Amino acid sequence: MKNLKFLALFFTATLFLTSCSSDDDNEPINEEEVITTVNVALTGGSTPITLTFRQLDESAAPTIIVSGDFDPNTTYTGSITVLNELENPADNITLEIEEEDDEHQFFYQVGAGLNISNLTYLDFDGNGNPLGLRFSFDTGEASSGNFTITLRHEPNKDASGVSDGQIANAGGETDIEVTFPLVIQ
């Protein structure tokens, strides 16, 4: 009889413990993306321009390529492709960014001396907030300087200035930040 009571208590405790497990146990873990490559295709001037950032080995310096100079007083339209080239074939992270558009936003920062204005988002998430895989800007007179592209994961898109592309109040985690030296001539 004692054994029966012990077994009943054991099964009740087991049932209780397993029924209290977290519902989160069945949710997939969304691991951080590995980003090795950022390609930016820009059109609008006399020749298309490509900006490329590639870092296949974290211990080595990244390769940064700007395929040409920008024309002055011209509107350029850009599109970004983000890849993990450590995979074979390369994993197109752009698709995940599009799928999780409410959790991502690109920010563009124009460095001192670079005559770029009217940076405009051309794509938006399901809530009407900027995403930034597609964008445009206007070049001014001849100049040079840095152009920084930052991808934030889970930014606060409702924070002051964020929908206008201001990164200061965005919060979130930086997935990648790349700086390109640009020349307008």
What percentage of residues in the chain have a pLDDT greater than 90?
82
Residue 151 has pLDDT above 90, yes or no: yes
| Residue corresponding to tokens 């390109």 | 180
Which tokens hold the place of 102?
Answer: 């409410």
Q: What pLDDT was estimated at residue 5?
A: 43
Q: What pLDDT was estimated at residue 167?
A: 98
pLDDT band for position 132 (50/70/90)?
very high
* 3-state class (DSSP) for residue 140: coil
Q: What pLDDT was estimated at residue 31?
A: 59
Q: CA 145 to CA 40: how far, in whole Å?
A: 17
Q: What pLDDT was estimated at residue 33?
A: 77
* pLDDT tens track for 12-33: 443 333 444 444 444 444 456 7
Q: Where are the domains of the chain?
A: 34-184
pLDDT band for position 176 (50/70/90)?
very high
DSSP strands (E only) in 24-111:
37-43, 49-54, 63-66, 75-84, 91-92, 104-110
Q: What pLDDT was estimated at residue 23?
A: 46
| Region for residue 17 given its phi and psi (left: phi exceeds 0; alpha: psi -120 to 50; beta: otherwise) | alpha
- The pTM score is 0.83
* pLDDT tens track for 46-99: 999 999 999 999 999 999 999 999 999 999 999 999 999 999 999 999 999 999
Residue 138 has pLDDT above 80, yes or no: yes
